[in-house]
Amino acid sequence: MLKLFVNIDHVATLREARYRGCARGEPDPVAAALACEASGAHGITAHLREDRRHIQDRDVWRLRESIRTCLNFEMADTPEIVALALAIKPEIVCIVPERREEVTTEGGLNVVAAEGDLSRTRQRLNDAGIDVSLFIAPEEGQVAAAARVGAQFVELHTGAFAGQFDDLNRRDFQTARLVAASKQAHGLGLKVNAGHGLNYENLPALRQVPHLAELNIGHSVVSRAVMVGLPGAVTEMLLLLEGYRA
């Protein structure tokens, strides 16, 4: 079964637009997470960025205390955030690149260039009982490096697939890249997740990619929720996942 993890970062983005620096505010990302769970989401994803632009430390602690499914904690490989992950103990950590000037995470990790550091961080997290995923572009070298690091998962960056979806030739090319990377990762013993830019329009085309375990989708679900409510948005996305054969 293909699982849906809902990323609640942009619920916090909306809150921070009005209540930045306040101890409380609305909408509450933890309440949103619980609504997603109640509507059938298999897990919750939250990215605690170094600049704390949306999710705050208190949100992650409350998520850990409140949700009953699975917490996927997205983070950069920095000492402060690694220490926090070790204290919070999410079920899975997804290590992502961060640049202060980006609006959202753009591009995958350069695992090849950071193999040593990532291996050490992966070992510390695994020793604490936390699975590790690496957010990578669907490139042969990065998949191979992720396996050498010892990660349990890779999350394939679907941004190019989503960004070029309207051009049929480019869509087919990007889909082929994802198919090849997923097959390679599976063959190396890695579990395969995917995310970035996935929405209600392009998700059906992703069915061509084999071996997918989990999808991380946030902005599209939160945007749809403005029109139909969060339970309706989650339900509609889950319907698109039905029948996927890995």
Residue 245: what pLDDT?
A: 84
In angstroms, the Cα distances linking 60 to 55, 73, 77, 175, 223 are 7, 8, 17, 33, 22
Which residue in the block uniquely carries the two structure tokens 């997205």?
74
What SS3 state is found at 131?
Answer: strand
**Nearest 5°: CA angle at 197, between 192 and 200?**
95
Architecture of domain 3-241: Alpha-Beta Barrel (3.20)
Residue-wise pLDDT for 41-91, tens only, equals 999 999 999 999 999 999 999 999 999 999 999 999 999 999 999 999 999
pTM beyond 0.75: the answer is: yes
Q: Which amino acid is at 94?
A: C
Active site residues: 47, 74, 196
H or E stretch at 71: strand 71-75
Q: Are 100 and 124 in contact (CB under 8 A)?
A: no
Q: 84-140: per-residue pLDDT in tens?
A: 999 999 999 999 997 655 455 567 999 999 999 999 999 999 999 999 999 999 999
Query: What are 235's two structure tokens?
Result: 């339900």
**In this structure, how many other beta carbons lie within 10 angstroms of the beta carbon of residue 148?**
13
